[in-house]
Structure 1
Amino acid sequence: MRRQLRKLRERNNITQSAASRIAETSPQSYGRLEDGRRTKVTDLALNALANAYGASDSERRLLLGLAQEIRAASASGSGWWRSYADAIAQGFDHYLALEEAANWVTSWQTAVVPGLLQTREYRRALTWAASPKRSSEEVERILDVVMPRQGLLDREGYRFEALLSEAVLRYCVGGPAVMADQIRRLLERSEDRGVEIRIVPATTQYPVGLIAGSFVLFSFPPLPTSRLQEPPAAYKEILAGDLYMERDIEVARFSEKARQIRHVALSGAESGPALSSPLPNGTPS
């Protein structure tokens, strides 16, 4: 909903402060709404915003439908991670929300295994590398929060496409034993229905993926009641912070890059032997 609200507001050159007055709420509450954080908003307020934004009938129905979905998700316990805000990196809760709402996720990675496929030990090694001053208790709490999301891979109708540079398999994250277990996990998950793992070999002569850098694409199912579809989104992690791309032209660029990467990637069947090959240090996968 946050993306739809911001898109409509910016299209009409209306500030968040003005939007908060239209919705008869505080600027802070409206800001939380567009940030995707939990806040109370009524259909009456959403209709007032839709009127001010000149929303079409389909845009209005999508906005109201998304609000209904959020309420239903809250009642059913979705968004469970929100109570662990202290253990989640700033902004990562929005990523988790997109990941859970999606029904098709494409992850292109040039250096690390995607989170949905990581073993706990592999994730622990990455967490220590990113935050070496954290206590053991803090690290374990982070792992307790982020690892359960892997249950999404078992959800009916959920599709996860992992496009991995061969370098992902060659970095010895956490040591040989950790990497051996991690590659076994990739092999196991590659057999799951709805999970596709494809390797881009280092010998490819068309390095479009290296130029693009790692990114994730999210596609969403139709809303249950209205059957309207929320537009796809793209995500890119950089050292300075997370980037969420939501404009059609931005997402289209990443979708095209994903298409080009698929063109040079091994097939799922061909990627199995690539995963099974020995690691450079001699440790068999």
Structure 2
Amino acid sequence: MYKGDKMRINGVLLFIMTIFYMSSIPFLLLRYYLHRNLSYHNVKDWRLTGTLLFLMSLLFLSYGGRYLDTPLGNGFTAMFFVCLVGGIYCKVRGRRATRRLGDRYDRYGVLLMQEKVTSISDLAAEVGGLNKQRVENDLLRMREHGLLPNFSIFGGRVQFHYPPANEPVYSQPVHTGYSQPDDQPWNEDEPEPGAVSMLLAAALQGVENGIKQMKEQKQRPLPQPMVVQCPGCGSGTLLQPGESRACPYCGSPLTYAQGK
């Protein structure tokens, strides 16, 4: 389960173990296992593996220089090339995984906010057949970084929590006018019946105008969340109406108005 971007096994510890004991590989494999359902952590694992292999290639190169023209030196030289090629492969794969993760986040936003796909199974099928646990962890990380509005996952479905709309409430009673009994003499201090009718008509007209405005406000479409393309790196970020934030990939400023 996603519990933040903190890695399960610290990369600095693996660097130290590589330099002094060359024993970081079992712990690196354990880290891959612990991150098997965490996409963002997997990207970091590939990049860390590439860096560790580069470091090991330098160590093998230094060892090989001490035993030139010997079988042991030739073995160290071969290991140098193996680690160098492996490091390049891991770095390239980590870079590609970063782009794929950004594209997948964009796809999640479109499926959830525009196509209204809320089933975890359907989302997993739409993004390439990932397992449901990995999809849930992806969505939780997007919520943690503000890429999706607040939601919960219950019964294998995503349920969003929107604040209730603020609708005008008319709490003041509407007075319908003045009535005078027929057997009671008219008081000159009271308004005349014609004036009362005019006041009543004006009050009713005001009520009708208020009801008409309320209907127009309800029929008017509310601004919806929008995926804004970053001008710096081209990745998409879901923004709420009026929201401004920095791109989670390159830090470029993004505003809701850029997506219009």
TM-score (norm 1): 0.26
TM-score (norm 2): 0.28
Give the number of the structure whose alpha-carbon radius of gyration is greater: 2
Which has the higher relative contact order, 1 or 2, with Cα contacts under 8 A spaced 6 or more apart? 1
